[in-house]
Amino acid sequence: MGFAQILANGVVLGTLYACIAIGFSLVWGVLNVINMLHGSFIVLGGYLTYFAWAYTGISPVLILPVVAVLLFGLGYALQYLFINKVVSAPVLTTLTLTFGLDMILYNLMTVFFTATPRRVSMDFGRLEFWGVAMPVDRLIGMGLALLLTALLFVVLRTSRIGRAIVAVRMDREAAALMGIKVNHIYAVTFGIAALMAGAAGSVFAMVFPVTTNLSGVFLGKAFVICVIGGLGGVSGALAGGLALGIIESFAGVLVGPQNAITIGFVLMLVLLIVRPQGLVGVKGYE
């Protein structure tokens, strides 16, 4: 495989990774919670997209927004009803709580969807350019991932609610004094994170098979990307996702795919020690 091909594979993978990690990063950065549900949100998005597509035949690109809205509702509700109650507790408490919620969601998915790998298969053929061959569905996936990422960036930058989220992230007390309803913002943030996860799952199901067993893998990727890119910002998740995608792509060719994943984790551990604020990010508060 040529250099350009490996790089292109890495970039495509990287944009998907960015999309996977962005919600996790947002929750960690704003709520200071490590959301163990994140992987299952992605799988749920993937499954919902698959089944909606399989039963109705509607284009998954149109299903995606519906799935995203559903996941927003789920995320908002979970945060408002459960996580908000302990949001300022130590990490041991919040992590364990989200893990407990994840056990429930995971179980529900295995019962209703089974663990069979599912993929929305749309054969668009492949595109060749500059000696790089790329299946068209992957390019669509990449385009959607970039679009979603850009959308979130714009929402955080320009909308009222986006500004409120950023304000809460920077200083919770000051934001509360300025009349921002912190609990509502937390729930919205968690909802947006679930929305992004669900949308990422939709995109993922168009490109790769999705199964419940992947929830831990997605979560692991989110960890690595957040640490590489830094917390809370869209740019950090994008940089971290791209970095991991490209590293895995090249390492996969050089040392085999299995070791490539290990390298991602080891890199994360090294970065945690030497540069906890990530490559581009701001250091999250303890």
Partner 1 sequence: MMARKSPWPLIAMALWLAALALTPVVLGNYEVRIAISIAMFTALALSWNIIGGFTGYPSFSTAAFYGIGCYVGALAQRSGVPAALAWLAAAAFVGGVSFLIGAIVLRLKGHYFAIGSIALVDISRLVVSSWGEVTGGGNGLNVPLLQGRPPEVSALVLYVMLGIMAAAFLANVLVDRSRLGFGLRCIEQNEDAADMVGIDTTRYKIAAYVLSAVFPGAVGAVYASWVGYIDPTDSFDILTTVKVPVMAMLGGAGTLLGPVVGAVSFVLLEEIFWANFLEWNRAIMGAIVVALIFFLPGGILKLDWRAILRRPSRRKAAERKPG
Question: Which residues contact partner 1 (rule: CB under 8 A)?
Answer: 28, 32, 34, 36, 82, 85-86, 90-93, 95-97, 99-104, 106-108, 110-111, 216, 220, 223-224, 227, 256, 258-259, 261-262, 265-266, 268-269, 272-273, 276, 284, 286
CB of 81 to partner 1, least distance (A): 10
CB of 94 to partner 1, least distance (A): 9
CB of 232 to partner 1, least distance (A): 12
CB of 66 to partner 1, least distance (A): 25
Identify which of residues 59 and 110 has a Cβ nearer to partner 1 in the complex. 110
- Tell me the DSSP string of the chain: --HHHHHHHHHHHHHHHHHHHHHHHHHHHHH----TTHHHHHHHHHHHHHHHHHHH---HHHHHHHHHHHHHHHHHHHHHHTGGGGTTS-HHHHHHHHHHHHHHHHHHHHHHH-S--B-------EEEETTEEEEHHHHHHHHHHHHHHHHHHHHHHHSHHHHHHHHHHH-HHHHHHTT--HHHHHHHHHHHHHHHHHHHHHHHHHHS-B-GGGHHHHHHHHHHHHHHH-BS-HHHHHHHHHHHHHHHHHHHHHH-HHHHHHHHHHHHHHHHHH-TT-SS-BPPP-
CB of 190 to partner 1, least distance (A): 16
Identify which of residues 57 and 90 has a Cβ nearer to partner 1 in the complex. 90
Length of the chain: 286
CB of 257 to partner 1, least distance (A): 9
Return all residues near 263 (Cβ < 8 A) that are at least 6 apart.
Answer: 247, 248, 251, 255
Identify which of residues 54 and 91 has a Cβ nearer to partner 1 in the complex. 91
Identify which of residues 60 and 264 has a Cβ nearer to partner 1 in the complex. 264
CB of 22 to partner 1, least distance (A): 17
Alpha carbons within 13 angstroms on the beta-carbon side of residue 108 total: 13
Identify which of residues 158 and 258 has a Cβ nearer to partner 1 in the complex. 258
Identify which of residues 46 and 264 has a Cβ nearer to partner 1 in the complex. 264
Identify which of residues 57 and 273 has a Cβ nearer to partner 1 in the complex. 273
CB of 172 to partner 1, least distance (A): 16
Identify which of residues 131 and 256 has a Cβ nearer to partner 1 in the complex. 256
Return all residues near 204 (Cβ < 8 A) that are at least 6 apart.
Answer: 16, 20, 42, 45, 46, 141, 210
